[in-house]
Chain A
């Protein structure tokens, strides 16, 4: 079993770029795809990145994902920040067929 660790919160100004990390505690980050979900208050999560770096249709190209084997982590980068990007972001992967979520990161755009 492994855990995914995210920073509790990040903040940045509109127009800037922010990166949210997701570190896998054991096993290789490259072993299983990483997904990223956005959750606004009172709403269900939605996918912003799947399979490490793929964007679903309708998600702006300001959102990008990557993995780094040297730090055993995945990253979600949001460029050209907008106030509407303010939300909670969760990384997610798999341990065999079991889903694993990171603890979530609250993004504040101020």
Chain B
């Protein structure tokens, strides 16, 4: 069965960086794009960007350009999202999600990783 398992919760100070991992299993990792979505407590979903695990090509939301980097390690079927220059407003649950074969919906999601930014 398809699973996306994310790394554990993180606490970071303002100005630091965080790197969240998303390990895929149950399918061919390089065949489906991975997207990242975040959700602040009590707020809605916010799309951050996508990565093609085969080519490594990426696309980021304008809001995060220059601060976010999405990478992968195909040998261990793992995608990564690194966010730098953290501020308190970045406190949120970060999700990885697989883009379906129809290239429309996100058909599988990770369990989410809480990133708390606090001094």
B-contacting residues, A61-110, CB 8 Å: 90, 92, 97-104
Interface residues on A, range: 20 to 34
Whether A46 sits at the interface, judged by CB under 8 Å, is: yes
In the complex, are the beta carbons of B105 and A47 less than 8 A apart? yes
Whether B29 sits at the interface, judged by CB under 8 Å, is: no
Minimum Cβ distance to chain B for residue A69 (Å)? 19
In the complex, are the beta carbons of A44 and B105 less than 8 A apart? no
Known pairs A35-B104, A45-B106, A56-B107; A97 contacts B59 (CB<8 A): yes
In the complex, are the beta carbons of B46 and A98 less than 8 A apart? no
Residue of B nearest to A46 (CB): B109
Chain A residues positioned under 8 Å from B45 (CB to CB): 37, 39, 45, 90, 92, 101, 104
Contact indicator per residue, chain B 41-63, by CB within 8 Å of chain A (1) or not (0):
00011110010000000010110
Most chain-B CB neighbours within 10 Å: which of A39, A99, A100? A99
Listed by A's residue number, 24 A-B pairs whose Cβ atoms lie within 8 Å are: A33-B104, A35-B106, A39-B45, A45-B45, A47-B105, A47-B107, A50-B100, A50-B102, A50-B105, A51-B105, A56-B107, A90-B45, A92-B45, A92-B47, A97-B59, A98-B47, A98-B61, A98-B62, A99-B37, A99-B47, A99-B61, A101-B44, A101-B47, A103-B44
A-B contact sample (12 more), CB < 8 A, given A44-B112, A98-B47: A33-B104, A37-B45, A44-B95, A44-B109, A44-B110, A50-B100, A51-B104, A98-B62, A99-B37, A100-B47, A101-B37, A103-B44
Query: Which chain B residues have a beta carbon within 8 Å of chain A's beta carbons?
Result: 35, 37, 44-47, 50, 59, 61-62, 95, 97, 100, 102, 104-107, 109-112
